[in-house]
Amino acid sequence: GAGVSQSPSNKVTEKGKDVELRCDPISGHTALYWYRQRLGQGLEFLIYFQGNSAPDKSGLPSDRFSAERTGESVSTLTIQRTQQEDSAVYLCASRAGLNTGELFFGEGSRLTVL
Amino acid sequence: GQQLNQSPQSMFIQEGEDVSMNCTSSSIFNTWLWYKQDPGEGPVLLIALYKAGELTSNGRLTAQFGITRKDSFLNISASIPSDVGIYFCAGHGGSNYKLTFGKGTLLTVNP
C-alpha cells in the first residue's frame, strides 16, 4: 500500500485479556519497528525486525509482550494478560534501507485496558 | 544508552511568531531527523540532515545539524494554527539501525 497500515485503530479490552495488533508496512521496506507512546510521552522502542535476521527485542517491557514478522511482510504485536499500564498508542514504522533513519509511521493502534 | 535532550518541553505562541526548538546528545549521530506528530496520527518526517553543519529548509521550516554532531535545532517561521502538534527530534547512528528519539516539544499556536 501507499503507507504503513495499522489495525485496529482503537481497541478497548478488559484487564487480563490478550490483544493482537497488526502492522502492514510499506511494500519493499525491509525494516520494521514497533514503538509505544503513552499519553503525553515520547516514543518508547519495543522491537525491531530487519529482513530474516533475528529481531532486536531489547525494548519489550515484559514477557507478556511478543511480536512476529514473516519475511518483509505483516507484523503482529501480541500483549498477553493485559494490564492497565499497557494502555498506550502502539506505533509501527517501516524503513527502506539500513543506513537511513527515515522511518515512515502508521497512525497507531490506541489500546485502552479497563 | 543514548539519550536526547529536547527542549523546550512545550511552547505556547501567537500566530505569526517564530519558533525555535533544539536537541542535544551526549553521543554523536550521523543523521539528525525532525518529525511532527499531529493529534491522533503517527509522526511524519519533516526534515532529515546528513552532514555536520548542514542547514536545510522545507518551506517555513529550517533545521541545522550541529558541527559537533551532538545537536540540532529546528526553526519554524511565521507560525500558523496548523503548526500545532508534537515535534520530535531523532538521531541515527548510521549503520546501526537504532533511532533515538527526543521526548518531544508540544507546540500550541494561538490564532
Chain segment B8-29, per-residue pLDDT in tens: 999 999 999 999 999 999 989 9
CB < 8 Å to B101, chain A: 42-43
CB contact under 8 A, A105 and B104: no
Is it the case that residue A1 has pLDDT exceeding 80? no
The three state secondary structure string of A56-71 is ECCCCCCCCEEEEECC
Q: Which residues does residue A6 pair with via DSSP β-bridges, in sequence order?
A: A23
For A47, name the nearest residue in chain B, comparing CA atoms only: B98
Say if residue A53's pLDDT is above 60: yes
In this predicted model, what pLDDT tens digit does every residue of A70-110 receive, in sequence order?
Answer: 877 899 999 999 999 999 999 999 987 666 678 999 999 99
Nearest chain A residue to B85 by CA distance is A40
Interface residue of B96, B97, B98, B105 to substitute, partner A, most A CBs within 10 Å: B97
| Contact criterion met (CB < 8 Å) for B103 and A48 | no
Which stretches of chain B score pLDDT less than 50?
none
Chain mean pLDDT for chain A? 92
Say what the pLDDT of residue B10 is. 95
Q: Which residue of A has its CA nearest to B43?
A: A105
- Reported confidence tier of residue A48, pLDDT bands at 50, 70, 90: very high
pLDDT value of position B95: 59
**pLDDT at residue number A96:** 78
Residue with cell 525494548: A59
Task: List residues in chain A touching B: CB distance below 8 A.
Answer: 4, 31, 33, 41-43, 45, 48, 50, 56, 91, 93, 95, 98-108
Using only C-alpha atoms, what is the Rg of chain A? 13
Q: How many Å is the maximal CA-CA distance in chain B?
A: 43
Instruction: Say how many C-beta atoms besides its own lie within 10 A of residue B84's C-beta.
Output: 15
